[in-house]
Amino acid sequence: MNAILARACSAVGLDSTGAEVLRGHTNAVVRLLDTPVVVKIARKGTPLSVTDRMATFVRWLMKRDFPTVPLLPGIEQPLIVDQQAVTFWTYLPQVFGPVAAADLASPLKMLHHLPAPPAEMRRLDNIAAIRNSLSVTRILPDSDVEFLYSRADSLEHGVRSVSYALPAAVVQGDPQHRNALKDGDRTVLCDWDTIAFGQPEWDLVTIEIHCRRFGYEPDHYKAFADIYGFDVTKWSGYATLRDIRELRMITTNARRAHKPETVAEVRQRIAGLRKMDTGAKWNIL
């Protein structure tokens, strides 16, 4: 990571000395020390087309004055170093920690009402993503993998009968408290790697899961639903999408897990899934 960071920064006239790693879950997200810039290095193996589509989409959002963290101007992006895509973003200092779910409602609703973007969007397919994660997972016993595959099969059958309440739209794919920032008085969305064309209900159920699973009180989610104007928990397809989304969260983390505490969290979530425990609290990974 340090070698790629140094080469990428040098290519655009920036200094990576003393850079601070902010996150390393999917992409490596690094803040530069001497200039208000955040550098994101895509995970090894990420198709270059994914980052190129994301950068094209964000530039389109910026032209529309959409509330997004902006790409750094004046740089051709993404920059490719050793077959890995690197992007540069304006650093927005955060004073009060993660934003509240209610703060996500307005920008997310704006996103769901945008016209078709110029870049072709992939279709959102959570079941395919679940199976892909399971195919490369190495930390789980065969019994757990078989259980998760079987659950995916059952949910795939169930989702075919879901009747959606909202029109299809551009979706963020993983909206949550940590994928939004404050820019002065307004909340802006970030982490656009999961953008797709699909049903807004997927984004809304993701918000609800994060509120319920990660320690927020019911009123925290209710404030979001009130501002957005749609409570996904009262919709007939909620339970099916909830179960698919939670299964994807579990299998995605299983694919990436390598530390003992991370593996233990994944196994605990699977144990809860076997008991159909929808109220158990999860720890952020």
For the segment 252-264, what is each residue's pLDDT rounded down to a tens digit?
A: 999 988 889 999 9
Domain 2-90 and domain 101-274 have a common topology: no
Q: What is the pLDDT of residue 119?
A: 77
pLDDT in tens, 162-205: 999 999 999 999 999 999 999 999 999 999 999 999 999 999 99
Count of C-beta atoms within a 10 Å radius of residue 89: 20
What CATH homologous superfamily does 101-274 map to? Answer: Aminoglycoside phosphotransferase (APH), C-terminal lobe (3.90.1200.10)
Q: What is the pLDDT of residue 196?
A: 94
Q: What is the pLDDT of residue 277?
A: 97
Average pLDDT taken over every residue of the chain: 95
Range in 89-98, 105-114, 138-147 the model is least confident about: 89-98
pLDDT in tens, 104-129: 999 999 999 999 888 789 999 999 99
pLDDT in tens, 39-78: 999 988 889 999 999 999 999 999 999 999 999 999 999 9
Locate the domains of the chain by residue range. Answer: 2-90, 101-274
Residue 180 has, within 13 A of its CA and on its CB side, a CA count of: 27
CATH of domain 2-90: 3.30.200.20
Confidence bin at 246 (pLDDT 50/70/90): very high
pLDDT in tens, 20-40: 999 877 789 999 999 999 999
Going by C-beta distance under 8 Å and a sequence separation of 6 or more, which residues neighbour residue 3? none
Helix (H, G, I), strand (E, B) or coil at 30: strand
Q: What is the pLDDT of residue 141?
A: 96
Is the overall model pTM greater than 0.85, yes or no? yes
Q: What is the pLDDT of residue 44?
A: 85
- Distances in Å between the Cα of 135 and the Cα atoms of 7, 91, 138, 148, 235 are 33, 36, 9, 11, 32
Inform me whether the pLDDT recorded for 96 exceeds 90.
no
The mean per-residue pLDDT over the stretch 216-244 comes to: 98
The mean per-residue pLDDT over the stretch 237-263 comes to: 95
Q: What is the pLDDT of residue 95?
A: 84
Q: What is the pLDDT of residue 23?
A: 86
Q: What is the pLDDT of residue 268?
A: 97
Concatenating the DSSP letter of every residue in 218-265 gives HHHHHHHHHHHT--GGGSTTHHHHHHHHHHHHHHHHHHH--SHHHHHH
* Buried-exposed string 59-84: b where 16+ CB fall within 10 A, e elsewhere: bebeeeeebbbebbeebebbbebeeb
Start-to-end Cα distance in the chain: 20
